[in-house]
Structure 1
């Protein structure tokens, strides 16, 4: 199989596998006081220091979580609760309309259950939050805003946001900013301290680390109410017995991914551009969604190096995925699927796309195992796949019209 879904999860780096395997052979709870416990604690703290060094943070700012979803929920809900507890008037939450569901649904939960006022920040046609958009939203009763959350890089279309500039604007109004950097860490130049963000989410399985292990970088001065209560591990912000082997694997993956990002990013960008060129050559009306990736933002590319998100007029994304899979190519779509019912991508809709476009897209995401042969496979398969998907779509439309005529509807 040709694997081009690295944005969903990427294979573990060999160094992380070896480190985690070695740690799995040991026993010890990092909260225990005996020798095995103290050794486990040392591994955790060395891992914390390694992650902090790689990402421009202080070790005390690294809070271990189970991954991106927990980190996003902890930041969005925890900072909201802490802000509101300090000042009951602060009940507004600003998040971009293109956020991952872990942020969007956490904010929606606050609106439905905690009386929060949720405002979705508009994005431009690339899916980017413009600084003037955030400034205008903050200027409307800033004393009532508890939190801003804008992702570092979009998981569907790959567009990068100017997080440093957005954080600076938020701080002018005395508002903390959280960023979901799940797609960015280990791929883009991410410096937590320099960015000005108050909280940053990352997860292991997007950068060559293990599933089920991530971290929330949280500034010491930012109050955050815990979601879970128990042993008080992780600054009393996140209780729970630490998964020492996974923490070790995460730290090694972050260290190696960050160190290798400049070289790997340049290679993957070339492969991505070649993939887009081959697809458009075969399917001329295919449209690349998101930022073209020709600019720089905060010292890095304006688009994720490995992201190629394209819309194919007249096609359904889910059909394209199945047809590509039958050709031995694994990729994904921007549409979510709940209980077997496909929905258009909320990201593309927020960018101004119509529903047909939002349904008929594919995301090819390349990573550290991607090769020129993978790109060639896409070029070989995409033409016949799109043609077949369009035929199926037209046949389905005709059948739907026939059914409608037969029932008088």
Structure 2
């Protein structure tokens, strides 16, 4: 039976497109023109792209020439990691070390591992504490010993699972003492924090449209002009000679509209998210007392290091996937943060890096808020979650009970 209400609480996975962005997208789709063409239609399309590039640069605190459009966050992350590694290695063969945090998205973890497997990279993984904060002292020691061998550092601005915000300025200041460039995957941060690329000290930063109310399939790597990148795609060299492919003017235009709307209302939206987040956390702790909140304590002295949008719990005796399916049957759409390989659920690498054992990590549940989230959504969760947890625990006991002879 169809649920009476649907509450979408998985904004960290993707956000609904903003109505204004949908209108802008549809309008631009009716206009013909390749932005690389020299005739009037091409020039019109190019003007749309460049206007978006300029506005996005203003929003994210960079120069327009530093915005390199890509097909999304994954491509931008790959371009940053592989492009910088290859360029730095070509200039100085001893620079084989890549430093990343233990809680990166797979769009960073996987290309880093591929470089280690196929191109001689030495992968260094920075540990995190129980809240998911990167150990800056470990980075300091690593650079003190191996700065001359390090190609780059990549640390995400805010974690997509537990919402922990990293000390990016501290990391870049430390790295630049040793002449090492720093990239940050800011995909999750962009919709909930005011980002200033220039002030951050970063050399490269990944953003994407569909996490801020824009369309899927377009993103960007913001990269300083001084940063040398080896291209991953070869062809027309449309984007600064490091990214080839016909530019999607309609998607870029829609992204511009969505990002501008978010930037204009960011303070109000994050204040609303924080109110809903704290109310949901309090409700869960009250109704399921043995649930454990993961990430930075939103009531503690480091509350500013938690995204306004992320609520992440582990539930003893539950499988995260069971919680997801049961919530979905009641019209609540959330996520776990775990990956699925060959049909077998795996515990989140983020939670394991934070020190959780595999059994505890398998009971993860993430609610993520956004512009469309309401008080009614929170009430909806609280009306069904205690029953869902109880049923998931019964199911877990049934599957682990010894067989009768």
What's the TM-score once normalised by structure 1's chain length? 0.96
Match of 1:258 in 2: 263
Offset of 1:304 from its aligned partner?
Answer: 1.0
**Residue 373 (structure 2) pairs with residue 375 (structure 1):** no
| Runs of 4+ displaced beyond 6 Å | none
Check the 8 A contact 2:278/2:298 in 1, yes or no.
Answer: no
**Residue 344 (structure 2) pairs with residue 347 (structure 1):** no
Offset of 1:295 from its aligned partner?
Answer: 6.7
Alignment partners' CA distance in 2, 1:45 and 1:293? 40
Offset of 1:339 from its aligned partner?
Answer: 2.2
Offset of 1:296 from its aligned partner?
Answer: 8.2
**Residue 114 (structure 2) pairs with residue 113 (structure 1):** no
Give unmatched runs, 5+ long, in structure 2: 1-5
CA RMSD of the aligned region, Å? 1.2
**Residue 391 (structure 2) pairs with residue 388 (structure 1):** yes
Alignment partners' CA distance in 2, 1:260 and 1:180? 23
**Residue 184 (structure 2) pairs with residue 179 (structure 1):** yes
Match of 2:26 in 1: 21
Map Cα deviations across residues 283-310 of structure 1 (whole Å, 9 max, x no partner). Answer: 001111011235788xx93111110000
SS in 1 for 2:403: helix
Within the candidate set 70, 92, 95, 1:65 is matched to: 70
Within the candidate set 181, 194, 198, 2:199 is matched to: 194
Alignment partners' CA distance in 2, 1:107 and 1:371? 39
Alignment partners' CA distance in 1, 2:225 and 2:360? 43
Check the 8 A contact 1:309/1:361 in 2, yes or no.
Answer: yes
Distance of aligned partners of 1:295 and 1:207 in 2 relative to their CA distance in 1, 3 Å threshold: farther
SS in 2 for 1:54: helix
Map Cα deviations across residues 104-144 of structure 1 (whole Å, 9 max, x no partner). Answer: 00100000000100011001111111322211121221100
Superposed, which structure 2 residues align to 1:6-405 within 5 Å? 6-294=11-299, 301-398=304-401, 401-402=402-403
Offset of 1:312 from its aligned partner?
Answer: 0.3
Alignment partners' CA distance in 2, 1:301 and 1:39? 43
Give unmatched runs, 5+ long, in structure 1: none
Offset of 1:255 from its aligned partner?
Answer: 1.6
SS in 2 for 1:367: coil
